[in-house]
Amino acid sequence: MEVILREDVANLGHRGEVVRVADGYGRNFLLPRKLAMQATEANKAVIEQMKAAAARRSATEKAQAQELVAKLEPIVVSFTRKSGESGHLFGSVTAADIAAGLAGQGFEVDRRKIQLSEPLKSVGDYHVAIRLHRDVTAHVTVKVQAEAQEATAGEPAAEAVAE
């Protein structure tokens, strides 16, 4: 099946390209999600107009992304989590957490654009890539700190059961 991509699809192609895909992939994934349309003769005629519009849109999106990179580069997002003695977290810091942290600082970034291969599971400083545009990537510093222990030696532990 030949389809015309309406959006960039990872490992397949970019907006406006005509690509050949398996029938089931096109019918069950690309078409219902409006990521592509069937490559009929009428649609192929419309594709030229779409390519021109996409080029203009891509140029403005790239310019906006480059402005956002300049604002995001100095940002440090800090998280405080409970951790064990070796610095391993009880839980993790995910892309959604980082997106929420950036939103708290006034930057709306979709969590799917944050490039984490796996959630952060230990204390430390990390440099996380955010893909704002196909050609533009920002890097943000994420600082994961251990939560301070509040119990002192003279006080009973919170887990102790009073009888």
pLDDT band at 149 (very low <50, low <70, confident <90, very high): low
Q: Token pair for residue 146?
A: 């251990």
Which is the CATH superfamily of the domain at 2-60? Ribosomal protein L9, N-terminal domain (3.40.5.10)
Class of domain 71-146: alpha beta
Q: Which residues contact 124 (CB under 8 A, 6 or more apart)?
A: 87, 143, 144
Locus of tokens 């069950």: 28
DSSP code, position 86:
T
Domain ranges of the chain: 2-60, 71-146
- Measured in Å, how far apart are the chain's first and last C-alpha atoms? 72
Give the pLDDT confidence of 128-143 residue by residue, as tens digits. 999 988 888 999 999 9
Instruction: Characterise 145 by phi-psi region: left (phi > 0), alpha (psi -120 to 50), beta (else).
Output: beta
Given a cut of 80, is residue 154 above it in pLDDT? no
Listing DSSP states for 92-108 in one string gives EE-HHHHHHHHHHTT--
Beta strand 136-146 with 76-81 is parallel
Average pLDDT over residues 40-65: 82
pLDDT, averaged across the chain? 85
- Tell me, what amino acid is at 27? R
Report pTM: 0.63
- Among 91, 67, 66, residue whose Cα is nearest residue 147: 91
Contacts of 140 (CB under 8 A, 6+ apart): 72, 73, 75, 76, 77, 98, 102, 127, 128, 130
